[in-house]
Amino acid sequence: MFRDRWEAGERLASALKEQAVTADIVLAVPRGGLPAGRAVADALGIPLDIVVARKMGAPGNPELAIGAVASDGSAWHNEALIKQLGVDEDYLEQVRRQEAAKARDKFDRYRGDRPDPDLTGKRVLIVDDGLATGATTVACIRQAFSAGTAEVILAVPVAPPDSVRRLQEEADRVIAVSTPESFMAVGQFYETFGQVSDEEAMGYLAQ
């Protein structure tokens, strides 16, 4: 059980140090990943930035993720579910464009007029407050690779073992402080897990 997202980030940073993980930049997933990301970036003495992705909802059921897309258009498709639902290519492209634009809007709103981070040849550490299915996380990882990174490491306080195994096929390394077999939601492993406001999240990024 983690006290809150900041304490989870501190424990995650300790785990990274124990495993001698080095990186050039932390990319936190807003909003919930920013408190943990700030704690990790401060502990490792490296810059903090963000990576943004949104899920792609199924036709008539936007809460059911048939994929995810990052702010640069990098996408992941749940091919089995897409086939099961009979989703056509036109719908996939339409929802990909719509959600990528929303992700880019959020990315720009959080960062203001600062130029996009140059990730070419960098060792990138993607941090979130936890993983459930990991759908949007895949899109985040793919965006980092498309930017020409040398290495992408995913680091989270908590995640179910099956999600860790699946994400290991996408990232160079996946590090989790806790991987409980019994997993319903990320919030069950936090004493305090209130919603992080945009203002609070942007405050962590601005520090």
Instruction: Yes or no: say if 70 and 147 are a contact pair by the CB < 8 Å rule.
Output: no
Buried b (16+ CB within 10 A) or exposed e, 35-65: bbbbbbbbbbebebbbbbbbbbbbeeeeeeb
DSSP character at residue 186: G
Band (113; pLDDT cuts 50, 70, 90): confident
Q: Give the global pTM.
A: 0.95
Q: What is the mean pLDDT of residues 56-75?
A: 95
Averaged pLDDT, 85-108: 96
Judge whether 45 and 26 are in contact, CB under 8 Å. Answer: no
Mean predicted confidence (pLDDT) in 176-186: 95
Does the structure show a pLDDT above 90 at 207? no
Structural domains in the chain? Answer: 5-52+119-192 (3.40.50.2020), 53-111 (3.30.1310.20)
Helices 5-18 + 33-44 axis angle, to 10: 40
pLDDT digits (tens, 9 = 90+) for 7-48: 999 999 999 999 999 999 999 999 999 999 999 999 999 999
